[in-house]
């Protein structure tokens, strides 16, 4: 297949890869779509917090977030976005493809698209080609993962529920959970992988590389897999304590973006002492006092970004109980102090089953002199009995 050049550079020996030798890498062409936006200064200006009541003016519903020109129907979920060189990428999880007659054409554990037009928040252009449907993954499998792809009961899947961390105009990292189906019953988390994105903006190609099969084991906090924000060249990476707090505690690490792929440069925050340490915690029980957020309800998915309109950092999320409500917590710095009472900013239309995969970004509305954070693009996975797909909305704060 000419469309996707996939190379497996190292055999997936579990002993671990030699540094700098990826376990999987792939390069594919992307459409020449440009969606320019202005970065707002991602910095709390030490002035007063603004508009802290988070009153909402209105919410515009754009319907499905999808490629309206795709001749195939894609059923997919989850995912997250990020912007590189005036392009906004959307990555999604499990993607099932049907043709115009409804006949099954293929299935893969993730897919990728580009935002087509910020004025139409539902419009995407899929990055794929019809001839590759059913075989094209946005994130490459290792050889061992690939060898199980056809074994529906034991296959691996690579899923994300947050945005990527842009390190420069052309590079980003994105944390994805690697799960494995076990005899068709339980889905078991095997760890978290780090996908590195390299965009060639002139050649219009994206290269996705995984240095290691797992960047975090299931025993570690998976920093960056819940949320991230970059401020003044420092990436703040948020992890949920899934195992001991059941997704209620958020732990924080940080690293200079220029050294993000070198774990020895990372520091870990202890909210109890207010100190950063170079020693990565090895959790063996719940440690709420070390967490920057210890919520009264479990988080499912969310994003953190600076809002110029509010002069504060926002965490916009779904919780794990109701799943329809976009909620907000806020803080004057990435470290905190975070508010403890969340405010519901929007109850998303329910499908016939539960909704999940809340995502949001201010990037769509950082053009033409707009104030960053006054408007948010919202997305979530809307689920009917027979299908699920992302929906897009625009929320305007009052
Ligand atoms: C984005 O596009 C603008 C023009 O709209 C251009 O001035 C700027 O250099 C571009 N930025 C990048 C990183 O390509
Ligand atoms: C809680 O986290 C802090 C900071 O990482 C660490 O020093 C402490 O030992 C942890 N406590 C427990 C009970 O794990
Ligand atoms: C970015 O801001 C500048 C100055 O306000 C403006 O001239 C330009 O059109 C903006 N670019 C975009 C893509 O909105």
Percent of the chain residues topping a pLDDT of 90: 76
The predicted structure's pLDDT at residue 179: 96
Q: Structural domain boundaries of the chain?
A: 5-397
CA of 358 to the centre of ligand 2 (A): 30
User: Tokens at residue 295, please?
Assistant: 């919520």
**What architecture is the 5-397 domain classified under in CATH?**
5 Propeller (2.115)
| Full strand arrangement of the beta sheet holding 80-84 | 80-84, 87-92, 111-115, 124-126
CA of 281 to the centre of ligand 2 (A): 7
Per-residue pLDDT tens for 234-267? 999 999 999 999 999 999 999 999 999 899 999 9
For 102-106, 130-134, 220-224, 377-381, which range has the lowest pLDDT when averaged over its residues? 130-134
Q: Which ligand number lies closest to the CA of residue 38?
A: 3
Side-chain half-sphere of 217: how many Cα atoms within 13 Å? 7
Per-residue pLDDT tens for 274-289? 999 999 999 999 999 9
- Average pLDDT, whole number, for the chain? 90
Contacts of 121 (CB under 8 A, 6+ apart): 60, 62, 65, 115, 364, 377, 392, 393, 394
Pocket test for ligand 2, best of 290, 291, 292 (most atoms within 8 A of CB): 290
CA of 235 to the centre of ligand 2 (A): 22
Contacts of 127 (CB under 8 A, 6+ apart): 28, 29, 30, 31, 111, 112, 113, 114, 138, 206
Nearest-CA residue for ligand 1 atom 3 is 36
């Amino acid at each position: 297949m000419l469309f996707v050049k996939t190379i497996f550079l190292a055999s997936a020996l579990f002993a671990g890869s030699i540094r700098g030798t990826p376990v999987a890498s792939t390069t594919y062409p992307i459409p020449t779509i440009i969606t320019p936006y202005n970065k707002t200064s991602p910095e709390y200006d030490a002035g007063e917090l603004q508009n802290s009541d988070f009153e909402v003016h209105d919410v515009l519903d754009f319907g499905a977030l999808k490629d309206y020109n795709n001749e195939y129907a894609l059923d997919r979920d989850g995912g997250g976005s990020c912007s590189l060189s005036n392009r906004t990428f959307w990555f999604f999880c499990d993607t099932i493809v049907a043709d115009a007659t409804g006949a099954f054409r293929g299935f893969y554990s993730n897919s990728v698209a580009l935002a087509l037009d910020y004025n139409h928040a539902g419009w995407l252009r899929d990055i794929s080609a019809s001839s590759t449907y059913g075989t094209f993954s946005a994130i490459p499998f290792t050889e061992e993962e690939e060898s199980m792809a056809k074994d529906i009961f034991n296959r691996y899947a690579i899923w994300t529920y947050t945005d990527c961390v842009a390190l420069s105009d052309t590079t980003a990292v994105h944390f994805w959970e690697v799960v494995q189906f076990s005899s068709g019953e339980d889905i078991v988390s095997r760890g978290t992988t780090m996908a590195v994105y390299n965009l060639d903006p002139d050649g219009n190609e994206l290269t996705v590389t995984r240095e290691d099969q797992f960047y975090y084991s299931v025993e570690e906090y998976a920093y960056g897999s819940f949320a991230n924000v970059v401020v003044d060249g420092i990436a703040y990476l948020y992890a949920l304590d899934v195992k001991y707090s059941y997704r209620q505690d958020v732990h924080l690490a940080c690293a200079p973006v220029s050294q993000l792929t070198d774990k020895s440069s990372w520091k870990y925050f202890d909210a109890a002492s207010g100190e950063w340490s170079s020693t990565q915690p090895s959790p063996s029980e719940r440690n709420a006092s070390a967490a920057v957020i210890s919520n009264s309800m479990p988080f499912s998915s969310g994003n953190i970004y600076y809002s110029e309109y509010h002069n504060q950092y926002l965490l916009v999320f779904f919780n794990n109980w109701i799943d329809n409500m976009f909620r907000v917590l806020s803080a004057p710095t990435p470290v905190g102090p975070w508010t403890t009472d969340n405010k519901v900013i929007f109850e998303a239309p329910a499908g016939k089953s539960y909704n999940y995969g809340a995502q949001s970004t201010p990037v769509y509305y950082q053009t033409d002199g707009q104030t960053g954070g006054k408007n948010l693009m919202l997305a979530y996975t809307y689920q009917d009995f027979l299908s699920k797909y992302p929906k897009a909305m625009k929320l305007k704060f009052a």
